[in-house]
Each structure stands twice: as structure tokens, then as C-alpha cells.
Amino acid sequence: MVHTGTLPRKRRWSAFLAGCTGLFALLLLWSGAEAIGEHVETDALESAEQRAGAIAEVASQFAQRALAAARDGQALAGHWAAHRAPEETAIRAEVAKLLAEHIAQSGGAIARIAIADAAGRVIWSSDAQEGSVAGQPWFQAHASTPGPPRVSPTIGAAPADAALPAWTIPVSTRVVAAEGGFGGAAVVALDVSGLEESLAALAHRPGEVAAILRREGDLLVRSADTAQLIGRPLVTERTRMALLNGETTPFRSRSPLTGEEVMISFRAVPGGAVLAVGSVTLGPALAHAARIHAGARVAALAAWAVLLLLLLAGFAVLRGRNVRRELAAQQAGRAEIERLLAGLPAIVFLREVGPDGTARHLYRNGDSAAVSGWPPEALPSRQPWADLADPEADFESIYQRALTEGQAVMDWRMRQPDGSWASMRSTLRLLERLPEGRGLVVGYIVNITAERAAEARALAASRLASLGEMGAGLAHELRQPLTAISLAAGVAVMAAKRGDNDRVLQRLDRILDQVKRGSAIIDYLRRFARGQEDEEGVVPVDLAVAVNGALALCGGALAEAGAEVLVTLGPPAPVVLGHAVPIEQVLVNLLFNARDAVAALPPGAPRQIAITAETEDGVARLAVADTGGGILPAVLGRVFEPFVTTKGPDRGAGLGLSICHGLMRSMGGGIVAENAGAGARFTLSLPVAPEGALEKMPEGALDRAPEGAPDKAPDGVPRGTPAGAGG
């Protein structure tokens, strides 16, 4: 045989396949390294955001307590100043004693309390210190213009005989004279050293800072180095105005003191006088993330280099026609790839899929134990863990979708060794089309149990927040049937004394009706608080029942805000596929948002909320519209993103609409927002249930209306009048 110096065709194909394998391995390893780096950096930033937010929140609560102590001291001081007549000496002495006790009980937060007359002369001080405050800017402001209490810049070094001690924060208020004019000022001096020590306990880790600023942006007290930074502006005017307008924090920035990159979180303390700040240095965490990222890249390149060397060795073997060395190199290369892929926190697989969705196993690798929770020997090697999956997991369907649409994603559940369920996500993509309608499909499986748990916690927190907000309205709703029961019972007693049995029976029937009404409201509240299990499939839900449930929970709050609710759902009201409780939760969130929007309107403006429904092409659309002025265009496109809100920091964290979006998607529906008419309109869409599906539901099913549920909106909330509207 004559050798031409070129590889035979079979070996050329082998070399080509080896090159493709090496390129695929490089892409896979590099993608894994990038994913690890991004994940570590994201975790570091999220941890810093949470820590900065926690420091700012606790600092805000601490500032509220300090200001509350100052306000209580000012009230006592004002009481002392109001009893300056000679015959009221005993009253002043008692008030002075209370002031001394208040200072002692402040835990070191208050250094001194003083009262000045209209001329600025100190007429009483908690430590008998005399002096004058007439030249102080805060005293002159009180003398010239009535206004709220003022938090003034921190006093640094001061003479020993000064009216206020050094290193204190003056919190002052105007004293009204007996004849109604300016009678002086009462000032509470908060001790900076004590406040600094308390803040240092909040931000005790290296690189953490807790601080309290005036609303003008200058520093009052800090967890460290207060003396060197007193009065220094630490926020820009733009940032300060954004905070006062309720924009979301935290955010990354450069420290104006050290130039280091930090995560900063602000809280506007109720009352608007001061701001609380929490800051965490990002340098160490980002540096650690960068090292891990670089290490992952180096490991990926090293592994690929090893593979490349093995492939080159294989080419040398091919050229030298040493079959044994060629096979050994190929086996070693494959073993190295298998070892690297086996460490990935995901299951990578390759399958040949037929037109009917049946799949033939070709390849699978990854850390099966970490992803599935089972030892590798306990996992089946055919369909991807089908024996351990939830019976509702349709693997053939997802393979068919990947074959026809090019890609597919499916979330499913997998039984764990202890009997519990873990949530999985399979992501597939069509790699190559084969003859006879077949195709090669590549994909991966990851464990999303932690992600689902976080979503469940956010959903539960949203329900609890809604329950707290609807508390006053529910009290109003329950008070009405209780009042009716009380009146009916009184009438029944009087009728019984007269022997009028017919009237007694009428009053008893009235009492039973009111008991059913109160029981229905409580049942709505119980179902709303309990929530809905994610693994339950969608069921038929009467939108009229869901709307009645939401109005039963928040109707009182809407009535107190003066909102007129108009409901038009039919006839007949649509029946959709979904879950009643999540639909009610979405409606409660939208109704509270609409209430807040119309409540902010000027007197006389129409305060209307309209709930309408229509069905088209097998999809039911439920719209909630208000006359509250609409959503700012800059915010409208991002209203369903987490932490996006137009309310102040004390009215929510901006998660409500994001959770609503997730709930609607989980039921196979959707939600859109737009400005229409005189306000905003949110439209929910869900598939229509098959005709007669509601009647086939088993008695006592979760998503049916509770026994005794009212067939109309709660008292105080007007309704539309078309037939079938609201059930």
C-alpha cells in the first residue's frame, strides 16, 4: 500500500469530530466559569444590599425612638413653660422632676433639656445651666415663623458655660405664650457620643457605616468619626430629593469620604426631619468574587488545555498509526471531559427525539446527587428520572415542543428520599434535525427548590401585608352584622316578653342571616391568609366569586377612602381556569393601589374604581380601572419589576405588582398595565374554563365560594347593576 501522507477519510472525520468535541467542551467550560463568576458577584451584591438595608432600617427605628424621646421631653418642657405664674411653683417642680426622670430613662440619648423665654434667655435647664440661645439660628427661626419642631446641625466644641453642651444635636420646638404669641423655645440636646455608640453597635463589621443625617443632607451623627465629619454634606441634592420623593434604594456608589465602592441604603424617617443611612463596603466582597471568577476561568482554560493536549496526542497517534495510543488518548480525553462535566451543578443530557415525543437516551452527565437529592445508583437511566417525577410531568410533550418550536422549558417536581418534593426545571434546545422528523435535543436540568421557596416567602409576605392593610376595613365589615344581631336580639327579647312569637321568630331569622354574613367574611379572610399550594392544578373559578371575595376583604377600606366601586362582569360572569385565592390576592393588590391613587385626589374629584370583564377567543379579560391620574410614563414600562414603586418607603417595597405578575403567569395567564381615561387600568387575562366545568367541581373544593358567601359587594361599596354582575 502506498501512503500519500494524508489521513484516510475515516480518520479525517475522527479528527473533525474530535475538534468539535474540544470546541464544545471549551464553550461549555467557559460558560460554566462565567455563570459561576456572575452568580458569586450577584450573591455578594445581594448580600450587601440586604445588609445595608438592614442597617438603614434599624438606624431609622433608632432615630425614631430618639426623636420620640426628644418630642416627649419637649412636651414636658412646654408644660413647664405654660405654668410660670408664682402660685404654680409646685406644678413646675413636679414637671421638672418628670423631666429629670425622662432624661434618666432615655438611656443616655438626652444630654440636656432647656427652656428659653421670648428673649432667648434660658429660664430652666435640666442641669441648672444658665445662658442665652438668642443667637442660635433655630431660636431665631422659631421666633420669626411658627412651624414644626426643628432638628438643627450638631453642636461641636462649645464653651463650658454654653446654654447647650458640646457634641449634641439640638431638637427644638416653639413655646406659645399665654396670650398666643411667641413665648420662647424648648430644646432637647441629644447626646452625640451616646448615639454614636449605639450606631456603632448596629454597624459592627469592618467597612459598615450607620449614620443619621438631617433632611438637608448634612451629618448629625455617625457610627464612627462623627467629630471629624459633623455638618459635612454626605448626599447630593439630587439624591436627597429622590429620597424625600420615595425613590427606591439601595444603590451602588462611591464613598465621598474614602472613594471606595459601597452599597448605600437610605430610609426617610417618618416626619421628614432626618434620614437614616446604612453603608457596606463592596471592595472585599467584589474582590473575592473576582478571584473566584478568575479561578473558574483558569480552571476552565486548564481543563480545555488538558483536553487539547490529549487531542493533539491523539492526532500524533493517528499520524503514527498507533491504534492503541490513539484509543488510550481518546479514552483519557473523554474521561477528563466526563470528570469536568460531572462537577457541574446541573444535569446535561443529549437525546434523540422522535415525532411522537419519545426520546432515546444518548448522553447524560453532571452532579446528579447535588441536583436530584438522590445517590446516582438510585436514579433510572432511561427517561430523565420519570419514575421519581410527579405523574403530571409530561416529558413527551416537552420533547415534542423542543422538536417543533426549537426550544422548550418545563418546571416539574421530583420525589425526595424523605418523601418530600423538590422543584426541577428542564430547559431543552433542538441541536440538529434528523431524517424522518427526528432530531437531536440537548438540554439541562437544574434544581429550583430554593428559588421556589423564595417566591413562596415573598408571596406569603405580600398576603400578610395585604391583611394588615385591610384590617380596619374588615373591622367595619364585621361591625355591621354584629350591630344588626345586637338590635335583633333586643327586639326579640322585648317581643318574647310580650308573647309575640311571630316577631321573635322573625328576629331570630334576621340574626341567622347576619351570622351567615359575618361567617362568610371570616371564611374569605381565612382562605386568603391560607393561600394556595403551587402543585395544585388549575381549576374552574367563577370570576364573580373571586371579585366578591376581594371586595369582601377590602371593601371597608375602599369605602373609608370614599372610592365608588362599579362592577360589571356579565351576564353571565366568566368562569376561568386558575385559582381563586391567587386571583383574589391580585385583585386585592390592584384595589388597594387604586384606592391610594384616588385617595390622593383633591376634594370634589371623582373617586371611581371600575371592575369589568369580557371574553374573546377563549380568553377572559378582567380589568380594574381608576380615576387616580394614571402612572408616570417613566415608570409605566417597569411597574412589574421588583422594587419599582411610586409610593413612599413607608407604603411598601415595590414588590406587589411583581408578585401579581408571577401569580398570573403561574396560572397560565397574564397582566398588563396602561393609562386609560382619567387614570390607570390593569387587565388580567386567563383562559376560559370549558362549559359546565364549574358544576363538575367536587363539593367543598378549595376554589368554590365559602358557604354563606354574600352575593353582593360589602356594604358601603356601590356596584354596577347589569344582570349577572358579581354572581
Per-residue pLDDT tens over the stretch 30-46:
888 788 878 888 888 88
With cut-offs at 50, 70 and 90, classify the pLDDT of residue 458: low
Q: Round to whole Å and give the CA distance between 334 and 572.
A: 65
pLDDT of residue 671: 92
Q: Round to whole Å and give the CA distance between 44 and 46.
A: 6
Residue 654 confidence (pLDDT) above 80: no
Q: Round to whole Å and give the CA distance between 542 and 535.
A: 21
How does pLDDT run across 341-370, given as a tens digit for each residue? 566 677 788 888 888 878 887 877 777 777
Mean pLDDT of 76-90: 81
Q: Which residue has the higher pLDDT, 721 or 328?
A: 328
Which of these, 396, 393, 457, lies nearest to 421 by C-alpha position?
393
How does pLDDT run across 125-139, given as a tens digit for each residue? 888 778 888 888 888
CB atoms within 10 A of CB 225: 12
Mean pLDDT of 526-542: 65
Q: Which residue has the higher pLDDT, 381 or 61?
A: 61
Mean pLDDT of 464-487: 60
pLDDT of residue 664: 85
With cut-offs at 50, 70 and 90, classify the pLDDT of residue 27: confident
Q: Which residue has the higher pLDDT, 513 or 450?
A: 450
User: Do 36 and 303 contact (CB within 8 A), yes or no?
Assistant: no
pLDDT of residue 686: 94
Q: Which residues pair with 242 in a beta bridge?
A: none
How much of the chain exceeds pLDDT 70, in percent?
75
How does pLDDT run across 162-171, given as a tens digit for each residue? 778 777 888 8
Kindly give the residue spans of alpha helices, DSSP state H, lying in 273-322.
283-319
Mean pLDDT of 456-483: 59
Q: Which residue has the higher pLDDT, 695 or 411?
A: 411
How does pLDDT run across 99-117, given as a tens digit for each residue? 888 888 877 788 888 888 8
Average pLDDT, the chain: 77
pLDDT of residue 424: 85
pLDDT of residue 147: 80
With cut-offs at 50, 70 and 90, classify the pLDDT of residue 7: very low
DSSP state letter for 688: B
| Length of the chain counted residue by residue | 727
How much of the chain exceeds pLDDT 90, in percent?
7
**Range with lowest mean pLDDT among 150-159, 227-236, 309-318:** 309-318
Mean pLDDT of 523-550: 71
Q: Which residue has the higher pLDDT, 84 or 523?
A: 84
Rounded to the nearest 5 degrees, what angle is found at the Cα of 271, between the Cα atoms of 56 and 224? Answer: 35
With cut-offs at 50, 70 and 90, classify the pLDDT of residue 622: very high
With cut-offs at 50, 70 and 90, classify the pLDDT of residue 685: very high
pLDDT of residue 709: 43
Q: Which residues pair with 409 in a beta bridge?
A: 427
Which of these, 196, 143, 188, lies nearest to 165 by C-alpha position?
188
**Range with lowest mean pLDDT among 2-6, 417-421, 438-442:** 2-6
User: Do 81 and 183 contact (CB within 8 A), yes or no?
Assistant: yes
- Strands 122-125 and 110-116, by their bridges, are antiparallel
pLDDT of residue 532: 53
pLDDT of residue 163: 74
- What's this model's pTM, rounded to 2 decimal places? 0.40
pLDDT of residue 715: 40
**Range with lowest mean pLDDT among 75-84, 379-388, 404-413, 594-603:** 379-388
Q: Round to whole Å and give the CA distance between 152 and 112.
A: 15
Q: Which of 299-308, 565-574, 717-726 has the highest mean pLDDT?
A: 565-574
Q: Which residues pair with 625 in a beta bridge?
A: 610, 681
pLDDT of residue 525: 60
Rounded to the nearest 5 degrees, what angle is found at the Cα of 133, between the Cα atoms of 131 and 137? Answer: 160
Q: Which residue has the higher pLDDT, 383 or 116?
A: 116
pLDDT of residue 511: 79
With cut-offs at 50, 70 and 90, classify the pLDDT of residue 566: very high
Q: How far apart are the first and last CA of the chain?
A: 91
User: Do 393 and 422 contact (CB within 8 A), yes or no?
Assistant: no
Which of these, 510, 454, 450, lies nearest to 482 by C-alpha position?
510
Mean pLDDT of 689-713: 56
pLDDT of residue 448: 80
pLDDT of residue 527: 60
**Range with lowest mean pLDDT among 460-464, 505-509, 689-693:** 460-464
User: Do 345 and 446 contact (CB within 8 A), yes or no?
Assistant: yes
Residue at 617: amino acid letter: D
Q: Round to whole Å and give the CA distance between 415 and 401.
A: 25
Q: Which residue has the higher pLDDT, 340 or 451?
A: 451
HEC readout, 23-51: HHHHHHHHHHHHHHHHHHHHHHHHHHHHH
Residue 626 confidence (pLDDT) above 90: yes
Q: Which of 451-465, 486-500, 638-652 has the highest mean pLDDT?
A: 486-500
Residue 704 confidence (pLDDT) above 60: no
Residue 602 confidence (pLDDT) above 60: yes
With cut-offs at 50, 70 and 90, classify the pLDDT of residue 529: low
